[in-house]
A = this chain, B = another copy of it.
Amino acid sequence: MKKKTRLMRPQRKVGMMPGSLIIDPSWPEPTIHVMAYGPDALEEKTVESVRELEAFVGKWPVTWINVNGLGSEETLRQLGAMFDLHPLALEDVVSLRQRSKVDDYDSTLYTAMRMLSFHEGRLSGEQVSFFLGKKFVLTFQEIEGDCLDPVRERIRARAGRIRSAGPDYLLYALIDSIVDAYFPVLEAYDVRLENLEEDVLGRPDNTTRSQLFEIKHDLTRLRRTLWPVREMAGALAHSESKLITQPTLVYLRDCQDHAVQLLELAESYRETGSSLMDFYLSSISNRMNEIMKVLTIIGSIFIPLTFIAGVYGMNFDNMPELHTKNGYFVAMTVMILLGLGMFAWFIHKGWLAPPRKPRQE
């Protein structure tokens, strides 16, 4: 909980025109990479201008245009015009805090997804946008990422159906690779929970509590991110868009299954986290109670003894016990017996059970 990540960067000004593209000056310039392929051929190129794309789109069974960096309004507008993208969809591409979703604009299908990864030990999210058209897939990434590389490799290697299938299957492959990328993130939390569990069962210290709160907070956020991913995958799997063919729907349903699995994992980790927290809090309170009890028992034994000592420290002239020969020894014996008696009574009552021994001792 050291530094809360901003969930929203409110770039829109109130009352701004729909379809406005607000470009942050710090964003990197877009680089455009094309991959055009059919069952038998493949052409790859990094193009300089949007114009060059005309040589590919529509001429190949599938053209995949990947745009890294959103830093140029002009490029985006040109792409929008060339591919007939709806202005609202284009606005969503640069609104970086979208929930994962699918919008069906008849001629194209727009999909937004959040990609999660760890940056310096903290969860960080990136938005990826997909447009599926009749013969193309257009993808936008905030920054150069590597999670789409495996798909690129599969296209180059002609692995599986990908080269013979249409753009809808490419869309599936891309989305599936992003969904798959969530699993290692969840696994990392699994490991952290296991470590925390060891701490909690062993000798928890002050950082344990912060860590428990932090992990619970992260897992809540993870669930919030995964929930719309599941909805999105479900919407795709049951899409009625004519851009998605029947055989691909089977694959998208599998992808939906994975999203459901992810959500359930996140839920189950969250519950484990809550349960650890409860166990930690009850351990702490238990331990504190034991300490206070022991301390109070020490006081309770010596306070009455001190009283007796005080009595024989009084300066009355006429205190017969003071002048007997064994008075002192008798008094000492009485005090010791009284102390031991109280001790025995506390033990008998079960009040002096030793505090819980931490396992590692």
Contact = CB atoms under 8 A, between A and B. Distances in A.
Interface residues of A, number: 123
A322 interface: yes
The dominant DSSP class at the A interface is: helix
A47 interface: no
B159 A17 contact: yes
A14 B307 contact: no
19 contacts: A8-B187, A8-B265, A14-B184, A15-B151, A18-B176, A18-B254, A103-B253, A209-B282, A220-B271, A291-B349, A298-B300, A305-B310, A306-B306, A313-B315, A314-B322, A314-B328, A317-B325, A318-B327, A318-B328
A86 B260 CA distance: 20
Interface in A198-254: 201, 203, 205-206, 209, 213, 216-217, 220-221, 224, 250-251, 253-254
Contacts of A97: 261
A306 B310 contact: yes
A12 interface: yes
B311 A332 contact: yes
Interface of A: 1-2, 4, 6-8, 10, 12-19, 86, 88, 92, 97-99, 101, 103, 105, 147-151, 153-154, 159-160, 162, 173, 176-177, 180-181, 183-184, 186-187, 190, 193-194, 197, 201, 203, 205-206, 209, 213, 216-217, 220-221, 224, 250-251, 253-254, 257, 260-261, 264-265, 267-268, 271-272, 275, 278-279, 281-282, 284, 286, 288-289, 291-293, 295-300, 302-307, 309-319, 321-328, 331-332, 335, 349-351, 353, 355-356
